[in-house]
């Protein structure tokens, strides 16, 4: 409406407003990528600090038993400072973007005043029309500045929103069993030619054939990363997009009704506490240990071959949100 009224006053003034009116919106967007990167860094630092605090709570007994309180507290303090500094940089840059938007808005306002003054001096409009146009420009400039500020804030959290979408909302891309047969455990569990890959490149399970008779107890033994947990997830029907069959009483487990199945099938989880740090620090618990002692610990725990496969060996970061070991 304001733009229409200014058009009624003078078409040239309207054209100038239309041309320069987008400046407060466009200029701050030039720095959006930097803002997103700073927000992403802040989120990453904050996530690390949160994990560190979680470690203090969950690993309390380990920390006390090995007398490493000061080392862990110093690490938590450093992570806290890093998160605060990253947050400060992000907020400061977002403030700069907001200030830039406001300055751009006022610059557009003054340009329009200069144009209006020129039109008065040339006799195209009256002083009264100029004052009316200036008042009307407030209803154009202020909303543009506000829109720019909100757009800046929304753009800055796009990566965070994507991360939430990926890690929380899209919890799993695995296929879900939609069978409808009531579950009843008869005779045996029979696994035939079971093959599964997480990434389509390397098989986590390759042509597994096992028969487990009802009433017997079985122990599943193997090195870390050999597929024990994956096999259990298949038996729990958490993974269904595999090749081969898993039969219980001659019925494929994917045909069972999930509610009926989970009322009778469950798992007791293994919980091994690990710090979000290098594998070496998790083994040595932040103490000095010789290469011989370290190698002996790896040998006794069966981790020698696992370490050889890790991207950075003993310097690989493990724990929550990082490389996980079973």
Other beta carbons less than 10 A from residue 239's beta carbon? 21
Residues 260-300: pLDDT tens digits? 887 778 776 566 677 888 888 888 888 788 888 888 888 88
Greater confidence, 240 or 138?
Answer: 240
Domain 2-168 carries which CATH code?
Answer: 1.20.1560.10
- CA dist., res. 326 & res. 227, Å (int): 9
Rg (CA), the chain: 32
For residues 319-323, give the mean pLDDT: 59
What CATH class does 188-262 carry?
A: alpha beta
**Range with the largest mean pLDDT of 18-22, 102-106, 152-156, 304-308:** 304-308
Asked whether the beta carbons of 318 and 282 are under 8 A apart, the reply is yes
pLDDT tops 80 at residue 5:
no
The whole-number pLDDT of residue 175 equals: 46
- CA dist., res. 179 & res. 181, Å (int): 6
- CA dist., res. 120 & res. 126, Å (int): 6
Listed by start position, the domains of the chain span 2-168, 188-262, 277-318
DSSP category for residue 187: S
pTM, rounded to two decimals: 0.53
The CA–CA distances, whole Å, from 291 to 284, 287, 298 equal 11, 13, 11
């Amino acid at each position: 409406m304001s733009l229409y009224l200014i058009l009624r006053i003078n078409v040239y003034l309207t054209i100038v407003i239309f041309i320069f009116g987008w400046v407060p919106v466009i200029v701050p967007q030039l720095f959006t990528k930097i803002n997103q990167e700073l927000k992403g860094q802040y989120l990453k630092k904050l996530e690390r600090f949160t994990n560190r605090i979680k470690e203090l709570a969950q690993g309390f007994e380990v920390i006390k038993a090995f007398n490493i309180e000061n080392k862990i507290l110093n690490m938590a303090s450093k992570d806290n400072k890093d998160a605060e500094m990253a947050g400060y940089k992000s907020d400061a840059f977002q403030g700069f973007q907001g200030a830039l938007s406001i300055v751009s808005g006022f610059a557009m306002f003054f340009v329009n005043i200069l144009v209006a003054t020129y039109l008065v001096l040339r006799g195209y409009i009256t002083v009264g029309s100029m004052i009316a146009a200036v008042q009307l420009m407030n209803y154009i400039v202020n909303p543009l500045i506000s829109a720019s500020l909100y757009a800046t804030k929304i753009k800055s959290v796009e990566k965070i929103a994507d991360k939430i979408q990926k890690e929380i909302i899209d919890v799993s891309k695995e296929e879900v069993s939609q069978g409808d047969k009531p579950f009843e455990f008869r005779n045996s569990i029979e696994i035939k030619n079971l093959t599964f890959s997480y990434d389509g490149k390397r098989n986590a399970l390759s042509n597994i054939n096992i028969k487990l008779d009802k009433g017997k107890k079985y122990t599943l033994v193997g090195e870390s990363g050999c597929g024990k947990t994956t096999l259990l997830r298949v038996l729990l029907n958490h993974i269904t997009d595999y090749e081969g069959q898993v039969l219980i009483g001659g019925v494929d487990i994917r045909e069972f009704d999930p509610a009926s199945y989970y009322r009778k099938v469950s798992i007791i989880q293994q919980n091994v506490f690990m710090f979000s740090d290098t594998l070496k620090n998790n083994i040595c618990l932040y103490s000095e240990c010789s290469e011989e002692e370290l190698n002996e610990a790896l040998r006794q725990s069966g981790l020698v071959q696992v370490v050889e496969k890790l991207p950075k060996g003993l310097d690989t970061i493990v724990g929550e949100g990082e490389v996980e070991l079973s």
